[in-house]
């Protein structure tokens, strides 16, 4: 009886240690998703702060392009609102509108040689383009972390612990089909 009890205790101890390791791994994966989102959020905030400067620089030269400038401002507000609510899907939709507005704004700038030559406009355009590239890179890392999280909480035996401790799947940061489509440069310049 003593040997059987010892074997049962060893099996239970090994099972408990295994469950603790799985739980800790799930926690680590969950926090990797949060960290990846925080990295995107930092860039979104930086771009959020740069856009009013860009709009103001453009406004000085583009007196007849108010609608485009207003579209960029509205999209900026939508991204900020979705970001503050941690609405990943909403960020994706708002990002599509913002990128479209910025594309139009930069295309319209071609019609304003003084604006294009402006040092502050050039600096802001380069800064925002760099932030856009950073957001795209970090979006890739975020989506990879989300994928790892979602797979782990659905795999057996992790699914048992994930359900027991209410681990939730995370949402991918996706953009609409419009965002992924090829840019029609001819339409932007006409």
pLDDT at res. 185: 39
The string of DSSP letters for 91-153 reads HHHHHHHHHHHHHHHHHHHTT-HHHHH-HHHHHHHHHHHHHHHHHHHHHHHHHHHHHHHHHHH
The residue-averaged pLDDT of 2-13 equals 93
Say if residues 61 and 114 touch (Cβ distance below 8 Å): yes
Q: Going by C-beta distance under 8 Å and a sequence separation of 6 or more, which residues neighbour residue 96?
A: 175, 176, 178, 179
Whole-angstrom Cα distance, residue 67 to residue 101? 10
Q: Does the structure show a pLDDT above 60 at 73?
A: yes
Q: What is the pLDDT of residues 128-175, one digit of tens each?
A: 889 989 998 999 999 999 999 999 999 999 999 999 999 999 998 887
The residue-averaged pLDDT of 3-18 equals 93
DSSP-derived letter for residue 62 is -
pLDDT at res. 32: 96
pLDDT at res. 176: 63
Provide the pLDDT confidence category of residue 16 given band limits of 50, 70 and 90.
very high
Provide the pLDDT confidence category of residue 86 given band limits of 50, 70 and 90.
confident
Q: What is the pLDDT of residues 151-161, one digit of tens each?
A: 999 999 999 99
Domain ranges of the chain: 25-180
* Structure tokens, 100: 């479209």
Whole-angstrom Cα distance, residue 97 to residue 91? 10
Q: Does the structure show a pLDDT above 60 at 75?
A: yes
pLDDT at res. 187: 46
Q: Does the structure show a pLDDT above 90 at 83?
A: no
* Structure tokens, 173: 């940061």
CATH superfamily of 25-180: LemA-like domain (1.20.1440.20)
Cβ count near 97 (within 10 Å):
19
Q: What is the pLDDT of residues 30-65, one digit of tens each?
A: 999 999 999 999 998 998 888 888 888 887 777 767
pLDDT at res. 59: 77
- 140 closest CA partner among 43, 23, 17, 12: 43
Name the burial class of residue 116, with classes exposed (0-12), middle (13-18) and buried (19+) by CB atoms within 10 angstroms of its CB: middle
Q: What is the pLDDT of residues 93-123, one digit of tens each?
A: 888 888 888 888 888 888 888 887 888 888 8
**Which comes out higher in pLDDT, residue 10 or 116?**
10
């Amino acid at each position: 009886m003593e040997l059987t009890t010892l074997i049962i205790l060893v099996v239970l101890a090994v099972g408990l240690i295994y469950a603790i390791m799985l739980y800790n791994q799930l926690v680590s994966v969950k926090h990797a998703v949060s960290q990846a989102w925080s990295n995107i959020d930092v860039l979104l905030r930086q771009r959020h702060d740069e856009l009013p400067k860009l709009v103001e620089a453009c406004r000085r030269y583009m007196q007849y392009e108010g609608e485009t400038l207003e579209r960029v401002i509205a999209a900026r507000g939508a991204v900020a609102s979705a970001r503050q609510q941690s609405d990943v899907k909403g960020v994706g939709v708002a990002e599509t509108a913002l990128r479209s507005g910025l594309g139009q704004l930069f295309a319209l700038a071609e019609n304003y040689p003084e604006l294009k030559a402006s040092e502050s406009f050039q600096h802001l355009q380069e800064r925002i383009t760099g932030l856009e590239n950073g957001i795209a890179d970090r979006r890739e890392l975020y989506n990879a972390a989300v994928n790892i999280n979602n797979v782990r909480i659905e795999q057996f035996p992790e699914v048992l612990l994930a359900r027991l401790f209410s681990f939730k799947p995370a949402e991918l940061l996706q953009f609409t089909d419009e965002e992924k489509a090829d840019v029609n440069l001819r339409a932007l310049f006409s």
